[in-house]
């Protein structure tokens, strides 16, 4: 079995980072930045939409639902996804997002 670093040396990076893939990644990044801008604009203008509602209700409730995450209303992710959110769960909402 080859070592992982040796396998990386033999990859043809031109086939991994094709022009189409880079364009799609750039488009996805632009969309993400635009939606964050919309969310920040809604927060500044006191819109009646709760922009960070799902983060407050689902993702930051880690300590209360560590063993049974599916009993939380709105949690549709894999249970192990909560492990990645543990460091964020101890922060206040304004810093966590």
Please give the pLDDT value at position 29: 97
Please give the pLDDT value at position 25: 95
- Enumerate residue ranges in the chain where pLDDT < 70: 1-11, 13, 61-66
Whether pTM > 0.85 for this model: the answer is: no
Distance from the first to the final alpha carbon of the chain = 42
User: Token pair for residue 5?
Assistant: 């670093």
User: Token pair for residue 73?
Assistant: 């209303």
Neighbours of 25 (CB within 10 A): 11
Please give the pLDDT value at position 8: 62
Nearest to 63 by CA among 43, 88, 38: 88
């Amino acid at each position: 079995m080859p070592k992982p670093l040796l396998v990386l040396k033999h990859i043809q990076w031109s086939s991994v980072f094709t022009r189409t893939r880079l364009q799609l990644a750039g488009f996805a990044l632009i969309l993400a930045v635009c939606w964050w801008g919309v969310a920040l604009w809604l927060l500044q203008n006191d819109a009646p939409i709760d922009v960070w509602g799902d983060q407050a209700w689902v993702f930051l409730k880690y300590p209360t639902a560590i063993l049974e995450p599916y009993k939380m209303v709105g949690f549709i992710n894999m249970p192990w996804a909560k492990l990645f959110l543990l460091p964020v769960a101890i922060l206040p909402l304004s810093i966590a997002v």
